[in-house]
Structure 1
Amino acid sequence: MTPRRSKRTRTKGMVWLMLVIGALFVFRLFWLQVVQHDYYQNEAQKEQVARFTIPAKRGQIYARDGSSGIVPLVLNEAVYTVYADPQVVVDKTKVVDLMQRVAGGNLVGGFPAALDNRQSRYAVLARQLNKTQAELIKQADLQGVGVQEGTKRVYPEGSLGAQLLGFVDADGRGQYGVEGALDSQLRGVPGLLKAVTDVRRIPLSIGKGDINVPAKDGQNLVLNVDRNIQARAEQALKDGLARSKATHGSVLIMDPYSGRILAMASSPSYNPDKYYQVKDYSLFQNRVVSEPYEAGSVVKTLTMGVGLDKGVIEPGTVYNNTGSVRVADFTIKNATPDSIGPTTMIDVLHYSLNTGAVFVLQQLGGGSINDQAKQTLYDYFTKRYRLGQNTGIEQQGEAPGVVIPPTDPQGGAVRYANMTFGQGMDVTMIQVASAFSAAINGGTYYKPQLVGGILLPDGSVQDQPPTVLASNVISPTASAKLQDMVAAARHNGFLAFTDPPGYRIGGKTGTSQIIDPKTGKYTNDNSIGTYLGFGGGAKPRYVIMVRVKDSKLPGYAGTVAAAPIFADISNWLLQYLRIPPNS
């Protein structure tokens, strides 16, 4: 081969080699830019684009303050969460030192091990930091570490209304009370920011491919609860429990003509700002709605309402009270031997006669406790008075209780005789007070309501009207007669001396034995005293129900322990609500 031909061959080979190399480059670029375009675009977005959750502000809770104003019960305070991107953190030692020095007790469990998880892009290092702590961390300007603003609940009134309010846990979820029942309404809806970030995960200017969905804040709720009435109820309850050396008690105050809850309290209570320090979780429960019990003789008022509505008794109807009555193979006795002989229905309430309540049941059956009598009482108690079912009040943990139907093997004559005076069935205070309100207000059953409206951004309140669940629970005529009977029963008794003259006050005591956990038997040493009544001028302005457990005072707990608390609150309400005397 001549030198010239050899040179042409080498040149040709180089050309082909360059063509092959060029073809490889072209193929590689085609593979990367066309075939795997979506893959590398997604990888780039993972590195450059981040998703940020924009927290919504939780709605605040307010109470009424007199007739026009409102006051805050639950507010939000700015707190900060410190987070890190383990893939971006450069100097772990500096991060750990800074967090231990600044965050201290706010560090989360698992710190600082979370910084070693390179598969994660988001690791929470500390929660609930104040603004000063947050600023110190921001000033350190450590790569891969960020600060996010949030809120925590604060309670300017301390423990006032703790059980009806509930609290918000460390994960931002409402627990118990209004916070738990209306969690979704209060929590709002978080927003979303999806944007290109720098190496420190800080969002850059928003581009056309970014997403920015604003957060929708939770609603600010205004309760029907009056701050001043609530405070008075809690103090009266606390004083009453101290007098009777009782273990615990509850008070409910409501407007019988709207269902609005003016106060709801239980004692002992807790501070929702320090809920995590509570060891006895029963303190979180609102016993007014969550603890069914045998309410005792206060239920006689409801039994009388049934008899009046069915037309089988009148206030002056007389029966022969012998002090006891035989039902099946069981003898039911009165608690006291008072009023032996001809006795009116008003006296049945005055002296709290069990035999009189059983007499009403007998009249519903034409003179005996038969299927008709039992079914009539059951229908009124459950379908009209709505006992044994949730009322729908804005409280987490409401319990329905139990009312045994007459078709149940346990629904015999003895049980139904006991039910006429509040034994043999489990009901809650909110059920009984709501039923009693319907029985004395003309026959309208209003849904009990804690929330009275929504505070709008302009500072005005969008009121929530009362909700009628049933009309003609008993007739207006029967209701008026029952109201008179309950007022006469109190007026004729010694409790009337605690009432100021000129006002129309009515009420009924109830004392029910409970089972001693040590012996498994009913005993007078373990009892629940209840007082249920109303007060006002020409018509009832409020209904008050008081319950006291395990009073140590001698006598019937409904009279000696619960009734004085009712009187304390009632007399104060007459002045606070500026109710003029009727005469």
Structure 2
Amino acid sequence: MPRIKKNEPENIRRSKSVWKAVYLVLIILAAGTAWIQLSPDTRVVRQSQRQYWASVAVSASRGEINDRNGIPLAVSVPATSFFIDPKYWDPKSADLLSKPFGENIAKKFSKNLLGRFHWVIRNVPKEKADAFLKKEIPGLYTISERIRVYPHGELASHVLGYCDIDDYGQAGVELAWNHILFSPPRTRFMTRDSKGKTLDIMGGKSGVLKNTSGSIRLTIDSRIQQIMEWRLSEGAKAAKASWGAGVCVDPNTGEVMALASYPSLDPNDRKNLKDQNAVRNNAVGRVFEPGSIFKPITMSIAVETAAANKNSTYNCRGTMRLADKSMSEVNKRAHGLQDLTHVLMNSCNIGMSIMSMGVPRHQAYGMLRQFGFGEKTEIELAGEESGLIKSPEEWLGTVPANIFIGQGIAITPLQAVMAIGSIANGGSLLKPYLIAEVQDSDGKVIHKGGRRVRYQVMSPKTAEFMRNAMKMVVSEGGGKLAFTEKVSISGKTGTAQIATGGEYTKGHYVASFVGFWPSEKPKYVMIISLGEPQGARYYGGQIAAPIFKAIVEDIVQVSPPEKDLMKTELN
């Protein structure tokens, strides 16, 4: 039986027709849109090029570094960076760049360039940039950044360090604590308005991103730092020294009050960074043979090991045959019979050499390591050296005697001052520290520096004996030029020859003075070292001791000791 076809209702037929028409329109619109995107009108292309977007990573605000009293030592301030869009730049305008930016930059942009973005110069101080911006040059545009500034110039430059063009720490505290101080670069989007003027828009939903950098407060006292740098530079220039170093520490806490290196540099002027002698931090990054400033350390070892005591005597005839070599005094001067105090007062090499023979080499080596020699102090600075000390298996022949007089061992000025600090504080070798406090971006304290004992290197009794002996060195011995009526000083001079190719070179010395004050209850311990002074005066007692004295007297003016600790009458 044949099937009968039913007719669709009229309303259904109409609905299908409508949907077919809709689909057709959508297809036509999609095709048109695709065609416009793939083959845009040339007029639209030209307009978009006039109002293009570009993303540029620029430096953000870096965290502040302040001294112990809140004085800012390193801050970030607004700066202006210049760039060129080659599409709108006329190379004939390059001469206009020579006066503000220099001939090299002008030459670079005197020819046609590819691309759409080229830095001209970055981080120009705002005042200088504003003066130049008074004259508009087509194709030259600006962007706002932050620049690292050291408001006091050279002050504490070797402590602070410096940053690169993108504000990333490269030396000193800036490098060692970059993870705290550094704020990641911000992305800025560059576009043009309808008049062709460049608009600088900060990325982010609100246009302003939160600063993520923390801040640091140092143990440094800017007043003492300024005094030390001034006196060290003055003394180094007078002695025609090639380098110098100074460190002042609180012997009771380990806080570094001042740390200076000569020659100095101003991190605000990047041209200075080419001078490697100025960039080097001699206080922690240079090792040298200490000479006689080492004798208080080795004498205390002899006392602690019972190889010597206050009743011990040593007969100095000016020279002495030891193993296969001769030990001698300066100018072979004989000191005669001496006790421990006079051995130190006269800086007697023969007495110290005889003393070394009574201390087992392995024991002496171990105690020197406890004093911190041969290893880093772990101060919060990049670039610290550990020094060099021979293994006890190498202590043969005259090696022990040489080490007891400060030869055949390499140390840093910081290691020396911390070791002498153990005498000042009663026998504890402390860890030095520069960072008093660290805060995160929210102001929360996340780190606090504090006293930390590394080793108990001597008994309080031995420390007291050594303090008194070192006081006699200044009042009646070889350190007289460090003597002052303002406060009592204990100290020791040192003059060491510099070895070249395994041989000591005549005329090349390191002159040093190390000491502490007030002698009765030390508040400061300090070292001054001058490398390779030129001229007839090169002994530590001649050129380093007077610098030490001048610094002490200046510090007493700004931070006077208590009356009961003032210099006692000579009688």
Q: Distance in 2 between matches of 1:576 and 1:560?
A: 26
Give the AA of the match of 1:252: V
Residue of structure 2 in register with 1:4 after alignment: none
Aligned: 1:440 with 2:424: yes
- Please point out which of 523, 531, 535 is paired with 2:517: 535
Give the counterpart of 1:93 among 74, 87, 90. Answer: 90
2:76 is paired with a residue of what secondary structure?
strand
- The one-character-per-residue Cα deviations of 1:211-262 (angstroms, maximum 9, x if unpaired) are 9793534333332222222222223223333443444322221111122222
Q: Which residue of 1 aligns with 2:533?
A: 551
In 2 relative to 1, CA 131–413 (structure 1 residues): closer, same or farther, beyond 3 Å?
same
Instruction: Give the drift of 1:192.
Output: 5.1
1:506 is displaced (CA, Å) by: 0.8
Alignment partner of 1:378 out of 365, 369, 393: 365
- Conservation of the 8 A alpha-carbon contact between 1:192 and 1:213: no
Q: Identify which of 539, 548, 554 aligns with 1:572.
A: 554
CA 1:345–1:183: 2 relative to 1, 3 Å? same
Mapped partners of 1:112, 1:380: distance in 2: 64
Alpha-carbon spacing, 1:312–1:398, altered in 2? closer, same or farther (3 Å): same
- Residue 109 of structure 1: how far off its partner (Å): 8.5
Equivalent-residue separation in structure 2 for 1:102 and 1:558 (angstroms): 50
Which of 522, 526, 529 does residue 504 from structure 2 map onto? 522
- CA 1:497 to 1:95, structure 2 compared with 1: closer, same or farther past 3 Å? closer
Match in the other structure for 1:5: none
Cα offset, 1:560, TM superposition: 0.9
Indicate the larger mover: 187-196 or 435-444.
187-196
Tell me by how many angstroms 1:315 deviates: 2.8
Does the alignment pair 1:63 with 2:49? no
Q: Distance in 1 between matches of 2:223 and 2:442?
A: 25
Match of 1:227 among 212, 218, 222: 222
Q: Which runs of 5 or more structure 2 residues have no equivalent in the other structure?
A: 1-19, 38-50
CA distance in 2, matches of 1:100, 1:240: 43
Call closer, same or farther: CA 1:315–1:279 in 2, change over 3 Å: same
Scaled by the length of structure 2, what TM-score is found?
0.79
How does the TM-score come out when normalised to structure 1? Answer: 0.77
1:302 corresponds to 2:297 = yes
Q: How does 1:394-473 map to 2 (within 5 A)?
A: 394-407=380-393, 410-454=394-438, 464-473=448-457
1:7 corresponds in structure 2 to none
Letter in 2 for 1:558: G
Q: Point out the more displaced range, 22-31 or 273-282.
A: 22-31
CA contact (8 A) 1:192 1:212 kept: no
- Is the 1:194–1:212 contact (alpha carbons within 8 Å) kept by the matching residues of 2? no
Provide the rounded CA distance (Å) in 1 between the counterparts of 2:433 and 2:111.
46
Q: Give the 5 Å matches for 1:70-469.
A: 70-83=70-83, 89=87, 91-93=88-90, 100=97, 104-105=101-102, 111-112=108-109, 116-118=113-115, 122-131=117-126, 133=129, 147-191=142-186, 214-277=209-272, 280-335=275-330, 340-364=335-359, 373-382=360-369, 384-407=370-393, 410-454=394-438, 464-469=448-453
Alignment match, 2:7: none
Q: Is the 8 A contact 2:91 2:112 kept in 1?
A: no
> The residue matched to 1:320 in structure 2 has which SS?
strand
The alpha carbon displacement at 1:124 in A equals 2.4
How far has the Cα of 1:115 moved from its partner? 7.7
Q: CA deviation at 1:337?
A: 5.0
C-alpha distance in structure 2 between counterparts of 1:314 and 1:494, whole Å: 22
CA contact (8 A) 2:227 2:555 kept: no
- Asked if structure 1 preserves the Cα contact closer than 8 Å seen for 2:162 and 2:174, the reply is yes
Letter in 1 for 2:476: N
How many angstroms apart in 2 are the aligned matches of 1:239 and 1:138? 44
Contact 1:106 1:128 in 2 (8 A): no
Contact 1:48–1:198 (8 Å) recurs in 2: no
CA contact (8 A) 2:290 2:496 kept: yes
What is the CA distance between 1:475 and its match in structure 2? 2.4
1:8-87 pair list within 5 angstroms? 26=27, 29=30, 51=55, 53=57, 55-64=59-68, 69-83=69-83
Task: Give, as a single letter, the amino acid of the residue that structure 1 aligns with 2:507.
Answer: D
CA contact 1:176–1:285 (8 Å) conserved in 2: no
Question: What is the RMSD of the two structures over their aligned residues, measured on CA atoms?
Answer: 4.2
Q: How many residues align?
A: 530
Partner-residue secondary structure (3-state), 2:90? helix
Distance 1:97 1:297 in 2: 62
**Aligned equivalents of 1:334 and 1:417: distance in 2?**
13
Inter-CA distance 246–138: structure 2 relative to 1 (3 Å threshold): closer
Q: CA deviation at 1:391?
A: 1.6
Identity of aligned residues (%): 26
User: Judging changes above 3 Å, is the alpha-carbon distance between structure 1 residues 166 and 30 closer, same or farther for their aligned structure 2 residues?
Assistant: same
CA displacement at 1:82 relative to structure 2: 3.0
Secondary structure of the 2:390 match is: coil
CA contact (8 A) 2:98 2:106 kept: no
1:540 aligned counterpart, secondary structure: coil
Query: Residue 400 of structure 1: CA displacement?
Result: 1.8
Q: Distance in 1 between the 2:124 and 2:538 partners?
A: 53
Q: For 1:166 and 1:94, locate their aligned partners in 2 and report how far apart those are by CA, in whole Å.
A: 39
Q: Give 2:304's aligned amino acid.
A: D
Deviates more, 1:395-404 or 1:97-106: 97-106
In structure 2, the CA distance between the partners of 1:213 and 1:158, relative to structure 1 (3 Å rule), is closer
Tell me how far 1:541 sits from its aligned partner: 1.0
How much has 1:523 moved relative to structure 2?
A: 4.2
Greater shift, 280-289 or 198-207, is seen at 198-207
Distance 2:101 2:532 in 1: 45
Question: What runs of 5+ residues in structure 1 fail to find an aligned partner?
Answer: 1-18, 37-46, 365-372
Deviation at 1:293, TM superposition (A): 0.5
